[in-house]
Chain A
């Protein structure tokens, strides 16, 4: 049962991911990616990560992609002109590269096995308990947590620096 749902969700994800890549119109891409992320969130749930699934929906599908939409609107870049995406050689090489890499990646992943699973504490879905996760964050992953806070701060300031209008300086260049 789980498995069927997972496979269905995965299929949807893949399809919409493909759409995202294929559609010329960026807005379409964003929207299809939203769908993809939703279905991905379903997969997360099935992998005992309800909390992550929630975040996925809120942060990704919600915040980030919406942000993308805003920017798209702001710059109102329409659909790519149908001119060829680049030099044929370039496309060819990309194709070759991707195919080879995909081959390696998938073959590796197919045969990749994990070391013997540990006995789960109670039933599987204990894994994703937010409280338990919180303990991790403020326990063993405290350092990471702090680091990420700096990261976000930097991102914040950075975004501010870049987005701020040219105010008190003569334009240059």
Chain B
């Protein structure tokens, strides 16, 4: 229990978010939306971390989350840059249409 919140509940929420993100990552075609979904997955991880941390009564959870956020930010920067760079060639970021390299 974290205060009055049962850990399981927190984890379930996080799990649900992760799965939602998963759906987005798999079903969307727009690279940006896919990436958004991935961000969501990472956030679900953060939620779980905080839940665990709190229930363990350790700060490490929060510390890790901090780093994760930093990483996510960095990824976002690079990712968006890549999208832009690719967009210059293809005029689209629909991953269904981006298959020059295959087979």
The answer to whether any beta carbons of A and B sit under 8 Å apart in the complex is yes
Q: Is the CB of B39 within 8 A of A33?
A: yes
Q: Is the CB of B20 within 8 A of A10?
A: no
Q: Is the CB of A114 within 8 A of B18?
A: no
Residues of B within 8 A of A120 (CB): 57
What is the total of A-B residue contacts with beta carbons within 8 Å?
Answer: 240
Given contacts A20-B37, A119-B57, contact A113 B7 (CB under 8 A): yes
Q: Is the CB of B96 within 8 A of A52?
A: no
Q: Please, how many angstroms separate the alpha-carbon atoms of A7 and B9 in the complex?
A: 8
Given contacts A98-B19, A114-B7, A114-B56, contact A49 B50 (CB under 8 A): yes
- Give the Cβ gap from A121 to chain B, nearest Cβ, in Å: 8
Contacting residue for A51 out of B14, B62, B70, B85, CB 8 A: B62
- Give the Cβ gap from B94 to chain A, nearest Cβ, in Å: 7
Size class of the contact patch on chain B: 35 or more
Residues of A within 8 A of B67 (CB): 141, 144, 148
Q: Please, how many angstroms separate the alpha-carbon atoms of A134 and B92 in the complex?
A: 43
Residue of A nearest to B24 (CB): A21
Q: Is the CB of B23 within 8 A of A21?
A: yes
Residues of B within 8 A of A10 (CB): 9, 13
Task: Say if the beta carbon of A163 comes within 8 Å of chain B.
Answer: yes
Q: Is the CB of B30 within 8 A of A162?
A: no
- Give the Cβ gap from A117 to chain B, nearest Cβ, in Å: 5
Task: Say if the beta carbon of B98 comes within 8 Å of chain A.
Answer: no
Task: Say if the beta carbon of A1 comes within 8 Å of chain B.
Answer: yes
- Give the Cβ gap from B22 to chain A, nearest Cβ, in Å: 6
Residues of A within 8 A of B28 (CB): 21, 80, 85
Task: Say if the beta carbon of A17 comes within 8 Å of chain B.
Answer: yes
A20, A52, A91, most chain B CB atoms within 10 A: A52
Annotate B24-41 by CB proximity to A: 1 below 8 A, 0 otherwise. Answer: 101111101100110110
Given contacts A72-B32, A74-B84, contact A63 B47 (CB under 8 A): no
Q: Which of A's residues lie within 8 Å of B, judged by CB? A: 1-3, 6-7, 10, 13-14, 17-18, 20-21, 26, 29-30, 33, 36-37, 40, 43-44, 46-49, 51-52, 55-56, 59-60, 63-64, 67-68, 71-72, 74-75, 77, 80, 85-86, 91, 94, 97-98, 101-102, 105-106, 109-115, 117-120, 124, 127-128, 132-133, 136-137, 141, 144, 148, 151-152, 154-156, 158-159, 162-163, 173
Can you name 6 A-B residue pairings with CB atoms under 8 Å? A49-B62, A110-B12, A152-B74, A162-B78, A162-B82, A162-B84
Q: Which of B's residues lie within 8 Å of A, judged by CB? A: 2-24, 26-30, 32-33, 36-37, 39-40, 43, 46-48, 50-63, 65-67, 69-78, 80-85, 87, 89, 92-94, 96
